[in-house]
Amino acid sequence: MPKGFSEPNSSKFLEKASWCARLGSGSASRSIYGAPAIWGETAAYESASDLYAVPFTESIHEDLNNWSDAVMIVDAGEKSVSSSQGHALLNEHAYANSRFKQAQSNLEELLNVLKNGDVDRFIALVESEALQLHSMMMSSIPYYMLMRPHTISIIQEIWAFRTESKLPVCFTSGCRSQCARFIRFTLSGRNSKLYQQPLVIILSKRVVSLQCNRWQTGKNRK
C-alpha cells in the first residue's frame, strides 16, 4: 500500500475512504470527515473534486461552528423510486440547467456564510436547497411526490417554533427516496437546552425514531 494510505488520519487515507464511500453514496463521501466537507468540482473551492469529498478547512464563524443535528425517521416504508431513477430524471428536466447554476451559486454563498456567521442566511439557504430538490422531483416527467404528510407537518412546526422562540433552528430533507422519509433539523450549539424545548416532544410524536449528534470543526473544537 502506498505510503500515507495506511495512516487513518492522513489526508490521502481520508481521500481514499471518501472515494470508496462515494461509490455507494455521494452524501457518504462527505460524512467521513465529521465536519463540513465539499463534494463535487466547483469554482467556489479550488481543491473540491468530483472523485471524493474534501474538508472545508477555512475558519468557520463561531455562530455556525457548533451545531446539533437531529435525524428523524418519518416513514420506515419501502422506497417508491431508486436514487438512480431519481437522478436520471434530471437528464431531460426542463429546469435542469437553471437548477445546476442555482446550486453552484448557493454553494458559493454558503461558503461565505460559514465564514461571516450570517445565521439567518444560512437557514434560508439550507431550507431553500431542500425544497428546491423536492420541487425538481415533483416537476419531472414522470413526477414523484417523495415527501410524506408528516414531513410537511414537521416542517411547518419547525417554522412555527422558530418564529415563536426566536431560536436558530432549521430543517433539511434530501431528495433520494429514502431521504423523503426522514427529516433532519439543525439547532444552534449555543442553545444547549434546546433539546428540552417542546419542539422535540412535538416532532417525536410523528417520527419512527430520533437520533441526535453534533458537528464541529476540528480546528475550533474545544
| Domain 61-216, CATH | 3.30.70.890
Write down the pLDDT at residue 150.
77
What three-state secondary structure class fits 44? Answer: coil
Q: Are strands 37-39 and 53-55 parallel, antiparallel or unpaired?
A: antiparallel
> In which band, very low, low, confident or very high, does the pLDDT at 54 lie, cut at 50, 70 and 90?
very high
Rounded Cα gap, residues 142 and 138, in angstroms: 9
For the entire predicted model, the pTM comes to 0.77
DSSP code, position 61: P
Whether the per-residue pLDDT at 110 is higher than 90: the answer is: yes
Average pLDDT, rounded, for the chain: 75
Residue ranges of domains in the chain: 1-57, 61-216
> In which band, very low, low, confident or very high, does the pLDDT at 44 lie, cut at 50, 70 and 90?
confident
Q: At what angle do helices 119-138 and 96-116 cross, to 10 degrees?
A: 160
Rounded Cα gap, residues 31 and 47, in angstroms: 17
Residue 67: exposure state from Cβ atoms within 10 A (0-12, 13-18, ≥19): buried
Amino acid at 14: L
Rounded Cα gap, residues 6 and 12, in angstroms: 9
> In which band, very low, low, confident or very high, does the pLDDT at 199 lie, cut at 50, 70 and 90?
low
Write down the pLDDT at residue 174.
63
Whether the per-residue pLDDT at 116 is higher than 90: the answer is: yes
pLDDT, tens only, 122-180:
999 999 988 988 888 889 888 888 777 878 888 888 888 889 888 888 888 765 444 44
Write down the pLDDT at residue 175.
53
> In which band, very low, low, confident or very high, does the pLDDT at 195 lie, cut at 50, 70 and 90?
very low
